[in-house]
Every structure is written in structure tokens, then in C-alpha cells.
């Protein structure tokens, strides 16, 4: 009888939360789906009306609850359904990344991108890249006190 | 029109942190810590920060209240003390001194707390003396 | 100018302003300390003083809210002026109904507060002194990331959740504060679970904080809050070119449609 195959260590599956704005990025994600473009299944999508609605409390709480990575996707500047909602996001998320860095948490765990309703392939590419980056960084529990 | 800050001491516990009571047109509106106070050095705990909350509160007691049936009725100090003394005596006589518990207060002076535990131990006859912090 | 001469000049300026206003808000000697006071015509000004303490703009806001139609003089240090300007941008005070008497802080007072800008733009009394160099910020940044995390976890583990940092901040005026929402900050536990409370508060200072340092001085647990808040303030200045309290006509940073053209500027190194 041959010796059993060494059992493979299970691959770490990061938990990614995506806050996608209703008008652009969520539609873009939908397009990726209908176009049958493959992307990492680790992302759990939360649809918001606007990326500007994603408050700092929401992001911090999401990390606190165990999200290994947070992706905030909104409309391109100038395309926001609410005119300037994404202007707020464009300042808020970079400042929050800075704060994470100062607090000793990898700022790469939080990412902001603009994805339009037509950019299904771009959505998939961003999700795949981000998932692999978070996989490399490891679980947030290493970092956070629960 | 009048705005001023009055130097005072927090009433909530035995530390006695220094603070300012902020007064606007005769109403206490808030507290600020006092960095010059030798004990508190400009710090306050959450109670100290909210120490002025009771001053003008609608629920603040202005007279003693005695329970009559379901209602709490305004009374004089003499009546309230009479009722209390009679009740404490009755309970002690019926169920013994250890049926009574005495909880003293950080807001009271050392002297008042001393007399209070004397009342418990020497007059009522129980050692059941504790402190409001245990509530 | 020595401190006594400065106080003399200040009291004189207040005396001269008094007939033109309904009162002057300034710091007053109260017991061994100082606190804000509303001086009115005829009041003795000999206890009017100046020290690096007390969040004066909060008193201004309270008084103006009660008397919106009156005009007040205000003795302002650099921090007070900048805070009043930021409050005005958020419609919490009305600059048009204030007459500011700007006073410079001494080098000693600047050192006490670790202040990098110890004088107001509208300076009438006293001489400008140099701000205190903020080397400790770069010293902190020299720590590797894991060490920074341990530093803050340790510092925040001492927090009593007294809300002193928020209460004393003149820029914190929200009637319903997010830090009191149990959805975000778990109630009934001390210290508040990391990173909630402290990182939320830090983000809320962005674009508003001018580093008066009152938060850190009042913290009973000696948490070095200004290290974090000053790092963020420096980023705001370097990245967005926004200086809190500099220009009353400039829209508040985080709540406005100024767009950061090049987001790559904030990619961490």
C-alpha cells in the first residue's frame, strides 16, 4: 500500500468587504457577472447609494469585526449621481489610510478605486489584485484586539 | 447678561477634583477641569465632566418625600426623620439589627460618614456598613 | 516684552475696546487657575490674565448662541483665533459679531503647549516667537509598523472613556456624538475596544484640529493624543495645502468639494 499523500495546508481565504456605490461600481460588478468574467469569491459586496456614504466609523467597525480587507468603489470624479459625494470619499479614504499607517495597521488593507458601470473587467481585475494582496498581508486578527 | 466660571470641587466621590462650574445668566451650564488644582491637575473623570447635570434637573429633589400608598408625598425634614427613625426601630425590633444595612457616601464628609457608621454599630447594633460605590 | 507689561497692554486694549462692544470675553484669574469670563463696562480688569490654558472658543460659542445680536470683543491667542475661524466655517459662531484682540504667547507658554504657531494672524499685543519644533513626530514615524501598533494599543488600553478629549475640544460641538453611539463604541466596557473610539476621534479631528493640546493635557490616562492628531494635521497641510484656521473664506476641508487631483500623493511609502 502506498504512503498517503501529505495533506495540503488549506489556503488562507481572506475576508474582503466591498462597499460599492449603487450607480456606478455596483453596476460595473453586475456587468462582470453577466459577462461571465471570473473574479475571486472572497469579496462580500455591500451596496451603498454613494461611496461618500462610507463613513470612517463604518470602515473601522468593519475591520474591527474581522474584515481582512476593505474595498471602497465609487463613481469616477465628475460622474457621481449626487454630484460631489465621491469628492468626500476622495479625501476621507486616503486620510483614513494614513491614520491606519500611524496606528500600525497596514494601510493597504483599505483601498479606494473608481469603477464605472461599463468597467466590468476593471472591477474583476481590481478584486483579484486586492484579494491576492490581502492574502499576502494575512488575517487582520493578527493586528486587531477583539 | 453674565458669564463666569466659578472655582469648585466635584461632589461625586472622595477625591474631590477641582473644576470650574460654568455659569451663564445664573444657570450652571457645564464644567471645565482646573489644571491648577493640586489633586486633579486638570483631569476629570466622566462623572466630573457631568457633575453639573443635576443642579437644574427637573427631577432634583427639593423636599424630603414620604411614601404614602403608591405616591411619594412632599414632607418636612422633621416628619421624614420621624418616619425613618420609627421604621428603623421597628425593623430592628422585629427582625434584629442585621436586617438593616447602612450605605455611606463618598459625597459626605469623613465626619458625617463616621457618625453614620456609629449609628449603625452603636445604636442599631449591626456591622452591616458599606459604601455607595458597591451599589 | 515681559509678562506684566503684556498684561498691562492687554488690559488697556480691552478697556479701549469696551465702549464699542457689549462685553469682552477673556481669561480671568479664578482661584489659582484661569477660566473664561465675560467682562462688561465698568468691571475691574485687574484679574484679566493670559495663560496657556482653557478652551476659550467654547465659551464664545455658548455666549454668542445666547446673545446672537450682541457684539463681543474676544482676547485671542493663536489657537483661539484659528479655532474661532474653523467654528465660523461651520456656522457655530459669527465672526462678524466679534472684535478680536490678538495676543502672542511667550516662548515659555509655547513650550508648555508644544505649539508650532504661538500667535494669531491678527496680532495686536506681544511679539511673535518661534513655534516649537515638532521633532517627536518624525521620531514616532521612525518606529516600525508593529511597534507603532503596540504603542497605541498600550496607550489606548489606559483609556477610561471619560470623554475629556472630546468635551474639552472647542471644535467638537455635535449635539449627537458618534462616540456615544453603542453601534460604533461598545457601551459598558472600559477601555473602549481598539480601534473604535480613538481612531474615530482622530479622524474627526482631521481638517479641524489646530493642535491646542487641551485634549492631551486633560487626559487622565496620559495618552499622547497630539502625536496622532498632529501627524494627521501635517498630512492635511502637506497633501491638501489646507491650514486649519488660516482663512475664514476657505471651505472646510473634509466636507467640501475640493478635489485631490493626485491621489498617489497619499500612497504610503
ipTM: 0.91
Burial of residue C46 (number of CB atoms within 10 Å: 0-12, 13-18, 19+): exposed
Report pLDDT for C265. 44
What distance in Å separates residue C172's CA from the closest CA in chain B? Answer: 15
What pLDDT is recorded for position C259?
Answer: 58
Q: What average pLDDT does chain A have?
A: 92
- d(C-alpha C132, C-alpha C226), whole Å: 14
Question: In sequence order, which ranges of chain B are alpha helices (DSSP H)?
Answer: 46-49, 77-95, 110-118
Radius of gyration over alpha carbons of chain B, in Å? 19
What's the rounded Cα separation, in Å, for the pair C97 and C65?
12
pLDDT at A1: 54
Point out the residue among A64, A91, A104 whose CB comes nearest to the CB of C253.
A91
Q: Tell me if B36 and C22 make a contact (CB, 8 A cut-off).
A: no
Contact between C217 and B34 under an 8 Å Cβ cutoff? The reply is: no
Average pLDDT of every residue of chain B = 94
Q: Which helix (H) or strand (E) holds B32?
A: strand B27-33
Check residue A145 and give its pLDDT. Answer: 57
C-alpha cell at C236: 492635511
pLDDT tens digits, A82-141: 998 999 999 999 999 999 999 999 999 999 999 999 999 999 999 999 999 999 999 998
| Helix residue ranges, H only, A18-55 | 25-34
Q: What are the chain C neighbours of A56 within 8 Å (beta carbons)?
A: 199-200, 203-204
Q: Which residues neighbour C110 within 8 Å (Cβ) at sequence distance 6 or greater?
A: C52, C118, C129, C130, C131, C132
The pLDDT value recorded for residue B107 is 82
Orientation of helix C145-156 relative to helix A85-103, angle to 10°: 90
CA distances from C39 to B12, C64, C92, C96 (A): 31, 14, 22, 19
pLDDT of residue C269: 38
β-pair partners for C34: C29
User: How many angstroms from the chain centroid is the CA of residue A127?
Assistant: 7
Closest CA to A74 of A97, A56, A53, A50: A50
For residue B134, pLDDT over 90 is answered with no
Report the percent of chain A where pLDDT is more than 70.
Answer: 92
For residues C40 and C43, give the distance between their C-alpha atoms in angstroms, rounded to a whole number: 6
Is beta strand C72-76 parallel, antiparallel or unpaired with respect to C98-102? Answer: parallel
pLDDT of residue B12: 87
The beta-carbon neighbor of C235 closest among A56, A95, A103 is: A95
Which of A73, A75, A104, A107 to mutate: most C Cβ within 10 Å?
A104
Contact yes or no for B49 and C164 at CB 8 A: yes
Mean pLDDT for the stretch of residues B66-90: 96
> Nearest residue of B to residue C32 by CA position?
B36
Question: What's residue C261's pLDDT?
Answer: 52
Which of C61, C50, C172, C156 has the alpha carbon at shortest distance from C101?
A: C50
Strands of B3-9's sheet in order across: B3-9, B18-24, B27-33
Contact C146 A64 (CB under 8 A): no
pLDDT category, B132, cuts 50, 70, 90? confident
DSSP secondary structure code for residue A6 in this structure: P
Judge whether C254 and A88 are in contact, CB under 8 Å: yes
Q: CA angle A53-A59-A63, nearest 5°?
A: 160
Q: How far apart are CA C73 and CA C19, in angstroms?
A: 10
Predicted confidence at residue B106, as pLDDT, reads: 83
Query: Which H helix or E strand runs over B4?
Result: strand B3-9
* Nearest-angstrom CA–CA distance, A92 and A100: 12
Q: Is B20 on the interface with C (CB under 8 A)?
A: yes
Distance from CA of C76 to the nearest CA of A (A): 30
Of A61, A97, A108, the CB nearest to C184: A61
Task: State the pLDDT at residue A146.
Answer: 46
C13 φ/ψ sector (left φ>0, alpha ψ -120 to 50, else beta): alpha
Three-state secondary structure call for residue C38: strand
Q: Say yes or no for a CB contact (<8 Å) between B4 and C37.
A: yes
Predicted confidence band of residue A11 (pLDDT cuts 50, 70, 90)? confident
Is B18's pLDDT higher than 60? yes
C167/B3 Cβ within 8 A: no
For testing contact with chain A, the best of C138, C149, C174 (most A CBs within 10 A) = C149
Residues of C with CB under 8 A from a CB of A: 140-141, 145-153, 178, 181, 183-184, 193-196, 199-200, 202-204, 206, 228, 231-232, 235-236, 239-240, 253-260, 263, 266, 268
DSSP string, A56-96: HHHHHHHHHTT-SEEEEEEPPTT--TTSSHHHHHHHHHHHH
Q: Look at C194 and A98 and tell me if their CB atoms are within 8 Å.
A: no
Cβ contacts below 8 Å, chain B against chain C, sum to: 83
Chains within contact range of chain C (3+ C-beta pairs < 8 Å): A, B
**C-alpha–C-alpha distance, residues C54 and A43, integer Å:** 49
Position with higher pLDDT, B109 vs B25: B25
Q: Which contacts qualify for A32-38: CB closer than 8 Å, 24 or more apart?
A: A32/A120, A32/A121, A32/A123, A32/A124, A33/A120, A34/A120, A35/A120, A35/A121, A37/A120, A37/A121, A37/A124, A38/A124
d(CA A40, CA A25) in angstroms, rounded, equals 16
Closest chain C residue to B21, measured at CA: C35
Q: Walk along chain C (269 residues) and give the pLDDT tens digit of each residue.
A: 799 999 999 999 999 999 999 999 999 999 999 999 999 999 999 999 999 999 999 999 999 999 999 999 999 999 999 999 999 999 999 999 999 999 999 999 999 999 999 999 999 999 999 999 999 999 999 999 999 999 999 999 999 999 999 999 999 999 999 999 999 999 999 999 989 999 999 999 999 999 999 999 999 999 999 999 999 999 999 998 999 999 999 889 987 776 555 555 444 43
User: Max Cα separation, chain C?
Assistant: 60
Model pLDDT, residue B68: 94
pLDDT at position A21 is 96
User: 3-state class of A11 per DSSP?
Assistant: coil
Q: What mean pLDDT comes out for the span A36-59?
A: 96
Backbone angles phi, psi at B31, to 5 degrees: -130, 150
Answer whether C257 sits within 8 Å of A87, measured CB to CB: yes
The vertex-B86 CA angle with B90 and B100, nearest 5°, equals: 55
* Cβ-based interface (< 8 Å): residues of C facing B: 22-23, 25, 28, 30-38, 40, 53-55, 59, 62-63, 66-67, 70, 160-164, 167-168, 217-220
pLDDT digits (tens, 9 = 90+) for C28-85: 999 999 999 999 999 999 999 999 999 999 999 999 999 999 999 999 999 999 999 9
Q: Residue B4 forms beta bridges with which residues?
A: B23
The subunits that touch chain B, with at least 3 C-beta pairs less than 8 Å apart, are C
Put simply, the answer to whether C220 touches B49 (Cβ < 8 Å) is no
The pLDDT, as a whole number, for residue C267 is 44
Phi and psi at residue B102, to the nearest 5°:
-125, 120
Q: Which residues of B touch C22 (CB under 8 A)?
A: 1
Q: Are C20 and C13 in contact (CB under 8 A)?
A: no
Q: Which chains touch A (3 or more CB pairs under 8 A)?
A: C
What is the count of residue pairs from A and C with beta carbons less than 8 Å apart? 101
Pull the grid cell for residue C50.
493670559
For C262, other C-beta atoms within 10 Å of its C-beta total: 7
> How far is residue B74's CA from residue B64's CA, in Å, rounded to a whole number?
6
Name the residue in chain B with its Cα closest to that of C43.
B2
Amino acid at each position: 500500500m502506498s504512503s498517503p499523500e501529505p495533506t495540503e495546508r488549506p489556503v488562507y481565504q481572506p475576508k474582503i468587504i466591498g462597499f460599492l456605490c449603487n450607480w456606478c461600481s455596483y453596476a460595473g460588478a453586475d456587468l462582470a457577472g453577466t459577462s461571465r468574467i471570473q473574479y475571486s469569491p472572497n469579496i462580500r459586496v455591500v451596496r451603498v447609494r454613494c461611496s461618500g456614504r462610507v463613513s470612517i466609523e463604518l470602515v473601522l467597525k468593519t475591520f474591527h469585526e474581522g474584515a481582512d480587507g476593505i474595498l471602497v468603489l465609487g463613481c469616477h470624479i465628475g460622474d457621481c449621481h449626487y454630484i460631489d459625494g465621491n469628492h468626500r470619499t476622495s479625501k476621507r479614504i486616503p486620510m483614513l489610510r494614513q491614520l491606519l499607517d500611524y496606528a500600525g495597521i497596514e494601510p493597504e488593507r483599505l483601498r479606494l478605486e473608481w469603477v464605472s458601470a461599463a468597467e466590468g473587467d476593471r472591477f474583476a481585475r481590481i478584486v483579484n489584485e486586492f484579494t491576492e494582496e490581502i492574502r499576502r498581508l494575512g488575517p487582520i486578527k493578527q493586528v486587531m484586539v477583539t | 447678561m453674565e458669564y463666569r466660571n466659578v472655582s469648585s470641587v466635584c461632589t461625586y466621590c472622595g477625591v474631590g477634583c477641582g473644576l470650574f462650574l460654568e455659569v451663564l445668566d445664573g444657570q450652571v451650564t457645564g464644567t471645565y477641569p482646573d489644571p491648577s488644582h493640586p489633586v486633579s491637575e486638570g483631569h476629570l473623570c466622566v462623572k466630573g465632566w457631568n457633575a453639573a447635570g443635576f443642579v437644574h434637573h427637573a427631577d432634583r429633589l427639593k423636599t424630603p418625600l414620604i411614601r404614602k400608598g403608591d405616591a411619594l408625598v412632599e414632607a418636612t425634614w422633621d416628619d421624614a426623620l420621624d418616619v425613618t427613625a420609627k421604621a428603623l426601630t421597628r425593623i430592628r425590633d422585629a427582625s434584629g439589627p442585621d436586617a438593616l444595612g447602612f450605605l455611606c457616601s463618598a459625597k459626605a464628609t469623613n465626619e458625617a460618614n463616621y457618625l453614620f457608621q456609629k449609628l449603625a454599630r452603636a445604636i442599631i447594633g449591626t456591622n452591616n456598613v458599606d459604601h455607595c460605590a458597591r451599589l | 516684552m515681559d509678562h506684566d507689561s503684556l498684561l498691562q497692554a492687554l488690559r488697556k486694549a480691552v478697556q479701549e475696546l469696551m465702549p464699542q462692544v457689549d462685553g469682552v470675553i477673556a481669561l480671568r484669574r479664578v482661584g489659582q487657575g484661569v477660566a473664561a469670563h465675560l467682562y462688561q463696562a465698568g468691571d475691574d480688569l485687574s484679574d484679566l490674565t493670559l495663560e496657556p490654558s482653557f478652551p476659550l472658543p467654547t465659551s464664545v460659542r455658548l455666549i454668542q448662541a445666547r446673545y446672537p445680536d450682541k457684539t463681543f470683543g474676544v482676547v485671542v491667542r493663536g489657537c483661539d483665533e484659528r479655532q474661532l475661524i474653523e467654528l465660523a466655517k461651520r456656522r457655530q459662531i459669527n465672526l462678524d459679531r466679534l472684535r478680536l484682540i490678538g495676543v502672542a504667547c511667550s516662548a515659555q507658554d509655547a513650550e508648555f503647549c508644544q505649539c508650532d504657531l504661538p500667535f494669531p494672524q491678527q496680532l495686536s499685543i506681544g511679539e511673535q516667537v518661534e513655534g516649537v519644533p515638532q521633532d517627536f513626530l518624525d521620531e514616532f514615524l521612525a518606529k516600525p509598523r508593529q511597534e507603532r501598533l503596540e504603542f497605541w494599543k498600550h496607550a489606548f488600553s489606559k483609556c477610561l472613556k471619560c470623554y475629556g478629549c472630546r468635551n474639552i475640544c472647542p471644535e467638537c460641538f455635535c449635539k449627537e456624538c458618534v462616540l456615544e453611539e453603542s453601534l460604533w463604541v461598545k457601551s459598558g466596557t472600559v477601555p473602549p475596544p481598539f480601534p473604535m473610539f480613538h481612531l474615530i476621534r482622530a479622524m474627526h479631528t482631521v481638517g479641524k484640529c489646530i493642535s491646542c493640546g487641551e485634549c492631551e493635557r486633560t487626559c487622565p490616562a496620559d495618552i499622547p493624543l497630539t502625536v496622532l492628531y498632529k501627524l494627521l494635521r501635517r498630512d492635511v497641510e502637506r497633501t491638501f495645502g489646507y491650514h486649519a484656521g488660516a482663512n475664514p473664506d476657505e471651505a472646510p476641508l473634509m466636507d467640501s468639494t475640493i478635489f485631490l487631483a493626485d491621489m498617489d500623493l497619499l500612497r504610503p511609502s
